[in-house]
Amino acid sequence: MVFSRRALQTPDRWHAPIHALCWFVFAGTSLVLGLYFTAPSPDWAPMMFAGATSTAPLAAAANAAFHVPMPEEVRGIYMTAAKAASKTQRADLFAYVERNRLNAIVIDVKDDNGRLAFMPQRASLQSAAPEEATIKDLDAVLREAGERGLYRIARVFVFQDPSFVARFPAEAVQKTSGGVWSDYKGVTWVDAASKAAWRYNAEVAREAYARGFDEIQFDYIRFPSDGHMQSIVYARHDESRPKHEVLRDFFRFMHEQLEEKEGIPVSYDLFGYVTWYIDYDLGIGQLLADALPHGTAISAMVYPSHYGAGTLGYENPAEHPYEIVADSLRKANRLYAMRDQECAALASGEKSATSTFLLPCGVPLAHHRPWLQAFDIGAVYDAEKIRAQISATRDQGGKGYLLWNARNVYRDFNLAATSSPAL
């Protein structure tokens, strides 16, 4: 059979569709190769790397978690994820809580390496799932605590997150010479202005709350401070802008996304010295005034051992727990008083609505719930010293307290008869 040249030519009516198909294949191949050879974006990660179970927002949605209302005075201790995962160690700490008439626990859900302590169920967190969860049955742990009437707080490391940096190095604090910066301990940090990191931590908070935690406590909300600071360059932070404004935006973001939109209580851990200053951010971006309008509670770490010799005239501040804690919270209370004065001036007409205000009027401010020292640095922190800190907190209007011991080794301090007021 003989074919003419004309017969072998493609009919004119097929030229456009074939050209379109070729361009489609070319463009699609380019996109796939581009995604493959380009560093992943944290905003694409949930879609690119989600596991087979990622179609459901939460596999446990049918088992909707119950929530314990926030006590009028939150009285709690810190518990590591490893201790929470151990049935016997958890039972010992629960017994301590009950024996000392406490009502709350703080558990790490994202640690200092950025590792999630549990296996996430939310689609957006599948790329962050650990190879093995520290707390294998988070729901059971939270259910047990809830049945005891304990208020459950999830502690989340934010900008100290080497795990996030490893997945998304473009979101990290960088070196002027190129590559990711690390501090003196070799720890890498997320750029505090990374909106992708903000969204990721908000997703961790949403899952923690959905699983049964009653409040989210964000920690390490700061710029790095220990390392060769001169070699730092920020990929996301505009260095012409004050650091505290970046963190103020972070506080506002979490408040709007979690508290206002979803009713999830949010609290923040801050350095103890933030209570001392009104407009000095300690070089790390933390100003108390920036956080107060955007959360439920502020937990300043007012550990007496962490104040320098000579503070308030004391050679060893750790030996004076009442005085150090009371003074720190008294200084913090200046901001509430200043807000009242400014708002009174606005109401009387002495100030106009266009005036500069330290804190907004008509907005509830977070209350103080400090971290108190329960570890032996500077002095032996026995029952008397723990009670002194609690008394100082109450005397300055604090609405609760949290006891910190990194090893979770706590001394009894409240062995009074059950008919007496709880400390």
Asked if 192 and 237 touch (Cβ cutoff 8 Å), the reply is yes
Calpha distance 280→80 (Å, rounded): 32
The predicted model scores a pTM of 0.86
| CB of 219 closer than 8 Å to CB of 158 | yes
Residue 198 lies in a domain: yes
Residue 115 placed within a domain: yes
Confidence at residue 24, expressed as pLDDT on a 0 to 100 scale: 45
Position 395 pLDDT exceeds 90: yes
Running DSSP on this structure, what letter comes out for residue 267? E
- Whether 355 is covered by a domain: the verdict is yes
**Which tens digit of pLDDT belongs to each residue from 41-74?**
565 444 333 333 333 444 444 456 899 999 999 9
- Tell me the pLDDT tens digit for each residue of 265-281: 999 999 999 999 999 99
Residue 57 inside a domain? The answer is yes
- Angle 270-339-246 (CA atoms, 0-180°, nearest 5)? 40
Residue 170 lies in a domain: yes
Indicate which CATH number applies to the domain containing 191: 3.20.20.80
**Residue 32 falls inside a structural domain:** no
Identify whether 321 is part of a domain: yes
Any idea how long the chain is?
Answer: 423
Residue range 147-158, pLDDT digits in tens: 999 999 999 999
pLDDT tens, position by position, 100-115: 999 999 999 999 999 9
Strands (E), 126-280: 151-157, 173-175, 215-219, 232-234, 266-271
Question: Is 28 within a domain?
Answer: no
Domain that holds residue 346: 38-404
Backbone angles phi, psi at 259, to 5 degrees: -75, -50
What is the domain count for the chain?
1
For helices 87-99 and 138-147, the axis angle rounded to 10 degrees is 20
Among the listed residues 162, 133, 152, 280, the one whose alpha carbon sits nearest the alpha carbon of residue 209: 152
